[in-house]
Amino acid sequence: MSTTAHTIRSLTDIEMIEQTPLTERDLPSSTYELIARSAKRAPNNPALTFLLQASDDEQPLTLSYAELFGKITQTANAFHRLGLSKDRVVSFLLPNLPHTHYTIWGGEAAGIVNAINPLLDAEHILELIKASKSEILVTLAPFPGTQLWDKVASLGDQLSHLKAIIVVDLANFLPEPQQAAIKAARGPLPEGVLEFDALIAQCPADHLESQRVFHPDDIASYFHTGGTTGTPKLAPHSHHNEIVMAYSMSLVTRFNEQDTALCGLPLFHVNGVIVTGLTAFLTGSQVLLATPQGYRTPALINNFWKIIERHKVSFFSGVPPIYAALLEVPSQGNDLSSLKYALCGAAPMPVELIRQFEQRSGVRLIEGYGLTEGTCGSCANPADGEMRPGSIGLRMPYCEVEIKIIDEDGQFLRNADNNEVGQLCIRGPSVFKGYLKAENNQGIWVDGDWFKTGDLGRQDADGYFWLTGRSKDLIIRGGHNIDPQVIEEAMHKHPAVAMAAAVGKPDERVGELPAVYIQLKPEHSVTAEQLLQHAQQSISERAAIPRDIWLIEHMPVTAVGKIFKPELRLDAMRRTLLERLGDLAQSLLVEVRTDAQYGMHADIQAIQPIVNWQTLAQQRLTLFKLSYTLLS
């Protein structure tokens, strides 16, 4: 397989690349073979560098390709000895560690890997372990300041079906005196729990004991979709899905053996695993794993530009709140010449935020688009072509993307014309074949085998795609559809605004009214009234002018760092309810719980005499189960 970079400037270049079918690209049959090829080609090149703290004087841990591949092989053999086979599952509940990569790729070599978000509560972690039928769990050993072991331990006998629990000991990354002190204070590991490093040390590093023969359609991984509430759906990825995605991404990123890709996004998410993981390993690039908590580590943000200079980073990806935070960290005085560009692809990036970031840092920011069901990316602005701020760019090579017009019943009518808004749909060899649970697959396909992403968008005459919002995020005011991005773009133009998020505020007369949550930049001060005045002057669409602006200290975000709008919508609901209750609000406590899997259900009889809550809720909260407890 050639990893020679193809220059992409326009849709024509993508179509020329696709004239060579994937069957003629000599793609490996598995992710294990992919990494094996790079280890054979350049065994001594650095593959994975790990920063524990992101401090100024930290000495990192670095593994060559030969060493990384050896660890992955040992891990696969350890899992095999514990009974893992190609149709069996190992779950991991880990922060970003070298061992996380060993587990991902070793797990895919032995069986199927199930990635679990460490921020989920213990109940949902258990549901994912059971839904995936996992037989092995890899997590953290007890360590000061971490909670993963506590979550696992709280499940007790509910994990008795597992063949093994394996723990990674963070103490092993510390100097000997600290390591010994922590282990002594902790005491021995619980009976039956296996220690990762000791376990794999007993296994060969030069061959797979299973002698497994891989097929490209073998399932490699399960990745969950959804936020931190509800039971996420599991999306199976085949080895072919992940390999094609890495190959397509390499054509876009143009990584080579001299490149270093910084990983700050979590390794339970496809962006961290594929973009700053498998794609880099495909091209023989180095992955800089920047602390266990990634961008959630304050030192990483504070020392970010120093780290870019010190490690000669050429690429990183992030989400809008990360770029907003980096705007507050001066980049002047640091040599950023190694940095080719940065990518934002997990959430829409306000154009004003792009402009400010590029102006202050001098770093080119590329917008892309993707989702778990597509294994990672589907669109990206061409690094060597015309950048169109606000656009998610051109479709990626071997990824099919179309805008389709779908009626109210979800039935396909026709493909959209140029610049006509419709449902963004994807198809191709990197798109999954459906969720693990059959009941989750109702209505997800349209016009045959096109996957409905839930995003609304348009395609211009040159092939660039533009998102116009998520169908579930649209604010519906008296039948008028309002794109929250219109409001958010306007608010980001105010010099005091760091982040803006627009949601619908329930209204019994028109269904919803637009409201905006604002997080201010540090050391900036402005009133909600001043921001409302700015909105009135900056938003030309009268229906989109927000009725309320609420200042909050921190935006709620998912574990990946995207703004978590369901929490904001629920807060808007709470504020509206208290407003309607008026004086009675002082004597009533309203408890709101969400569950994203089930539809709306509310016990509202107690408050119906006060407010018709059914009317208020029906427009916005069909994805949530609501429970209200009223106490005097």
CATH 3.40.50.300 for the 475-585 domain, yes or no = no
Q: Which regions in the chain score pLDDT beneath 70?
A: 1-5, 226-232, 346-348, 470-472, 478-481, 508-510, 582-632
Place of tokens 């509430």: 229
Q: Residues 6 or more apart from 174 whose CB is under 8 A from it?
A: 182
In which element (H, E) is residue 134 found? Answer: strand 134-140
DSSP symbols for 46-98 = EEEEEESS--TT---EEEEHHHHHHHHHHHHHHHHHTT--TT-EEEEE--S-H
Q: Which amino acid is at 72?
A: I
CATH class as words, domain 11-459 = alpha beta
User: What was the pLDDT predicted at 408?
Assistant: 81
3-state secondary structure of 546: coil
Query: What is the reported pLDDT for 595?
Result: 38
Task: Tell me if 487 sits within 8 A of 544, measured CB to CB.
Answer: yes
Cα–Cα distance measured from residue 601 to residue 609, given in angstroms and rounded to the nearest whole number: 18
Ranges of each domain in the chain = 11-459, 475-585
pLDDT of residue 481: 67
pLDDT in tens, 429-478: 999 999 999 989 999 999 999 999 988 899 999 999 998 876 667 787 75
Q: Are 115 and 268 in contact, with CB atoms under 8 Å apart?
A: yes
CA–CA separation, 29 and 541 (whole Å): 52
8 A C-beta contact, residue 351 and residue 389: yes
pLDDT confidence of residue 170: 94
Equal CATH topology for 11-459 and 475-585: no
Q: Are 259 and 316 in contact (CB under 8 A)?
A: no
Confidence (pLDDT) at 4: 52
Give the separation between CA 318 and CA 306, rounded to whole angstroms. 17
Total-model pTM: 0.82
Collapse the DSSP code of 413 into the 3-class scheme (helix H, G, I; strand E, B; otherwise coil) and give the result: strand
**Tell me, what's the pLDDT at 590?**
41
pLDDT at 558: 79
